[in-house]
Structure 1
Amino acid sequence: MNSSDPVVSPLRQRMLDDMRMRKLGAKTQTGYVRGVRRFAAFLGRSPDTASAEDLRRFQLDLVDQGATPATINSTLSALKFFFDVTLGQGELMAKVQSVRTPTRLPVVLSPEEVARLIAAAANIKHRTALAVAYGAGLRASEVCALKVGDVDSQRMVLRVEQGKGRKDRYALLPPVLLEQLRAWWRVAHAQGKMLPGGWLFPGLDPMDPLSPRQLNRAIHAAAEDARIDKRVSMHTLRKRLANPSGVRVMPLRS
């Protein structure tokens, strides 16, 4: 079940086909293959020969190795799919239970901290992208996937295609954010970094979008430069208690 194998085994191909038939996202498919591959490495033989006791020993090994609850649960989800869907042997997973994930209070930034964070970003592209995440309540992947045509200044909304749950929706666009987007557009257009109808936040190559990883690196660097002593992430911008921009989202209708 190795995703890097030059020759795909029939078993792995069947699992890939099962995931493709159910239109699982690319990240989910990668995670599932990784989880089954990890189990096969522990087992030392093909995973379709495993017993319920093998699964129990594997979960204990994950705990002993210090795997986080999130890692354990994602790995078990992969195995559940493999045994239930691909092998039709869901009964082997009957006694395998997910682990509880500790509940932590969310990191909350004050409006002053948000202003410092965005101002500390390295360039106008990163500042504008962070402002969109905060002002329109978008995830990193949603910000990076925006195209120029997704900005609707007539209705003051941003079109978000295939967001979480692969659903389309609109996010309201505050006037101050529209002005910042226009300022970014003027700079990017003058520098030839933004193609007509292209990505709103292009990467080094205008044909490619800024990646969520690059955006996460940008926010971490900005938090350090702004001397914000909190665990700041893109998720932090969305999970604020205060909502100064009055953000709402609406399902996308044709």
Structure 2
Amino acid sequence: MDILGKLLFDLELSGFSNVTQNNYLYHVSQFAKYCKKPLQDTDIEDVRRFLHYMRRSKKLSAGTVNYYHTCIKFLFEVTLEKPWNDKKLPRLREHKPLPEILSREEIDVLLDAAINLKHKAILATVYGGGLRISEVVRLKVKDIDSKTMQIFIRESKGNKDRRTLLSEKNLMILREYWKNCGKPMDWLFPGEKPGAHMTVTAVRNFLKRVCKAAKITKPVTIHMLRHCFATHLLESGVNLFIIKILLGHSSISSTSRYLHLVNQNAFNIKSPLDLPIGDNDA
């Protein structure tokens, strides 16, 4: 068994999802191409040079470089059984700017601009349920439960299943799409290849066209619609812990980030400078 084959075996044994397995294999293969020698012959200095190259020469973000770090560390410690030194291979400190979001009015404009029923159904499902791009493309027809008004998401990030909201408007759009677009029986959003689901790249490409048609100049991504889902729910008074469950976050700290995106007027919050002074404060 070659090293990548052994790596795949170790990833499967560790219970990683198929998406994560493919991501690890891709990032490790990029490391192998850079080193131009067998993976079993690589050492810590090879990793240091590679990560430095990806950051300084390729100009990759700290988050992306850290993901390479995670994948190669697994390769070394589990598959190659080689020593790893966190002091010589520190993770980069990440600056995490607050994500930009669309207003509810802008969401309506975006959906109206999606003339293609399939595209509109995908965007409505992402925003209506707070899905990741990898989750929406892998939805199956049976995952849409109109009786409980829920969407079942299988083997998501962290190899976890969860349920999220199925909005009434989303259900109407999905039904219209299903009736008029071939009545798919397995994958909800089939791809061009027989038996395959729509690709992530195809979704990103059509989103650019829809944004152009909607004349939205903000840098819209599918993940931004997930941010919008969480922020708009928070503004409507939904408990933060409920939103955490719907998003599938492992930690409440990830969900708490949306508190910074909320329009404070939604909570009718006043600055203490504007609060009246009571008799007890005199």
Q: Same fold (TM over 0.5)?
A: yes
Structure 2 letter corresponding to 1:111: R
Q: What's the secondary structure of 1:171's corresponding residue?
A: strand
2:44 matched to 1:47?
no
Q: 1:230 to 1:51 in 2, by over 3 A?
A: same
Distance change (3 Å), C-alpha of 1:55 and 1:16: same
Separation in 2 of the partners of 1:46 and 1:87?
11
Other-structure match for 1:14: 6
Matched letter for residue 108 of structure 2: A
Give 1:203's aligned residue: 191
Cα separation, 2, equivalents of 1:251 and 1:105 = 17
Instruction: Give, in angstroms, the shift of residue 168 of structure 1.
Output: 1.7
Listed as ranges, the matches of 1:65-214 within 5 Å are 65=57, 66-92=59-85, 94-188=87-181, 193-195=182-184, 197-204=185-192, 207-214=195-202
Q: Distance in 1 between matches of 2:29 and 2:237?
A: 45
Q: Which deviates more, 91-100 or 105-114?
A: 91-100
Corresponding residue number in structure 2 for 1:58 = 50
Counterpart of 1:32 in structure 2 is: 24
Q: Which residue of 1 aligns with 2:280?
A: none
- CA-based RMSD: 2.8
User: Which residue of 2 is the match for residue 224 of structure 1?
Assistant: 212
Task: Name the structure where helix makes up a greater proportion of residues.
Answer: 2
Q: TM-score, normalised by structure 2?
A: 0.74
User: Structure 1 residues 129, 95: closer, same or farther in 2, change over 3 A?
Assistant: same
**Alignment partners' CA distance in 1, 2:144 and 2:46:** 52
Distance of 1:69 and 1:184 partners within structure 2 = 40
1:138 alignment partner AA: L
Tell me the secondary structure at the aligned position of residue 158 of structure 2.
helix
The answer for the alignment partner of 2:232 in structure 1 is: 242
- Give 1:94 deviation, angstroms: 4.8
1:163 is matched by which residue type in structure 2?
S
In structure 1, runs of 5+ residues without a counterpart are 1-8
Task: Give the direction of change, closer, same or farther, for the CA distance of 1:50–1:198 in structure 2 (3 Å limit).
Answer: closer
Query: Paired residues, what number?
Result: 239
Q: Does the Cα contact within 8 Å between 1:174 and 1:245 map onto a contact in 2?
A: no
Q: Distance in 1 between matches of 2:110 and 2:193?
A: 26
Q: Which amino acid aligns with 1:162?
A: E
Amino acid at match of 1:238: R
Give unmatched runs, 5+ long, in structure 2: 249-282
Larger CA deviation: 156-165 vs 230-239: 156-165
Q: Distance in 2 between matches of 1:120 and 1:101?
A: 35
Identify the range of structure 1 (163-172 vs 96-105) with the bigger mean alpha-carbon deviation: 163-172
Partner secondary structure for residue 159 of structure 1:
strand
Alignment check: 8 A CA contact 2:137 2:197 kept: yes
Quickly say closer, same or farther: Cα 1:83–1:94, change in 2 above 3 A: farther
Give the Cα–Cα distance (whole angstroms) in 1 for the partners of residues 192 and 13 of structure 2.
34
Contact kept? 2:101, 2:224, Cα under 8 Å:
yes
Deviation at 1:251, TM superposition (A): 10
Partners of 1:206 and 1:38 in 2: CA distance: 29
The residue matched to 2:52 in structure 1 has which SS?
Answer: helix
